[in-house]
Chains A and B, each alone.
Chain A
């Protein structure tokens, strides 16, 4: 079996990022770990370039690589950072990068909602708990990763398989008829099909889809939020049991 250039680039960069990740997670000197994380994130970006990027206007491409690069780099640094507060801040940056990608996928409402919910609420709550529970900053359990080599082998095998199959898909169309036959009618949800290309990604179409096709699910999700709020109040330690 011969590899094409794109396949070779993809496999080589995935392997390089695994090595960089192993350096970054191992108990080594600070500088070596930062170099490892930089290698891992750069190699991940190179692995993404092995697939077809967005075609079209130059500013689209520039924005894609900006957002994708910031999401990948900051998530690598989040996973390998030894300070929980820095990890939370890197996660906020990764969220911003992912939201930029949402915007490029013409989902502006979701981009705004994700920034508000994640960067505005969840990150603040995480930082609050970190500062409440871990005021010393340095803790021994943040200094060493658990079984880094085995975890890297397992997850990078999965990553390589995923990227490989994406590369296959973009080269040859999937033969639908060869798949397993449907046993029931697979009608599309009526409200989720946009009228035209222009209204396809407007807020109005999204609202029609949510409150048309998914009305019961929206109600259940609201109930779930209520139950989770009550549960959080019930689980959280009382002042009578001693404060943190």
Chain B
């Protein structure tokens, strides 16, 4: 069926898998992005091979769109990384694991038996928090009503709740 194209497909699969393993195991934000680009290479190679097997140009046209989306992804991802870096002064992805939902477990930092836990950087200054998804916000009943009528609600600054401290 696919004849001598099987080895091209195998190289594409290996590139995809290697990119995936880099995506899961690396802890540097930039290298996680690079691994995603490696996965895209594997997919492009597979698409081109199948296009040649079927003797048409759909694979090449798809790969051009992959290239376009990869360029967009790199631009947006790198500007996001710079914004995150400016807040925490570190490229460690574990610093941002608090962005998960409140009811999800903490990320795995050492799954392999006998290995010491991974060291983490000191947490950056806590960000202001939203109410957890699915929970009603806590409404301060003591806030005087006549004051609330005169004050713009957006200017009232409430302190962020105390850190749960599980991840220092």
Contact = CB atoms under 8 A, between A and B. Distances in A.
B56 A122 contact: no
A225 B72 contact: yes
Contact of A133 (B25, B85, B108, B112): B85
Given A114-B67, A134-B91, A235-B80, A95 B41 contact: yes
A15 interface: no
Interface string A104-117: 11110110011001
- Name B's interface SS: helix
Interface residues of A, number: 105
Nearest to A65: B7
B67 A113 contact: yes
B7 A110 contact: no
7 contacts: A117-B71, A139-B92, A146-B25, A159-B17, A174-B1, A225-B71, A231-B79
A173 B1 contact: yes
B28 A142 contact: yes
Q: Which 10 A-B pairs have the closest CB atoms?
A: A228-B72, A79-B22, A236-B79, A145-B25, A51-B6, A209-B57, A162-B13, A147-B111, A141-B92, A151-B24
A228 to B, nearest CB: 4
A129 B111 contact: no
Nearest to B65: A221
B30 A129 contact: yes
B106 interface: no
Contacts of B63: 107, 110
Contact of B82 (A101, A133, A200, A231): A133
Given A48-B10, A68-B11, A159-B13, 19 more contacts: A48-B11, A72-B18, A105-B45, A110-B48, A125-B75, A129-B81, A147-B24, A147-B25, A150-B111, A155-B17, A166-B9, A166-B13, A194-B55, A209-B61, A221-B68, A228-B75, A228-B76, A235-B83, A237-B82
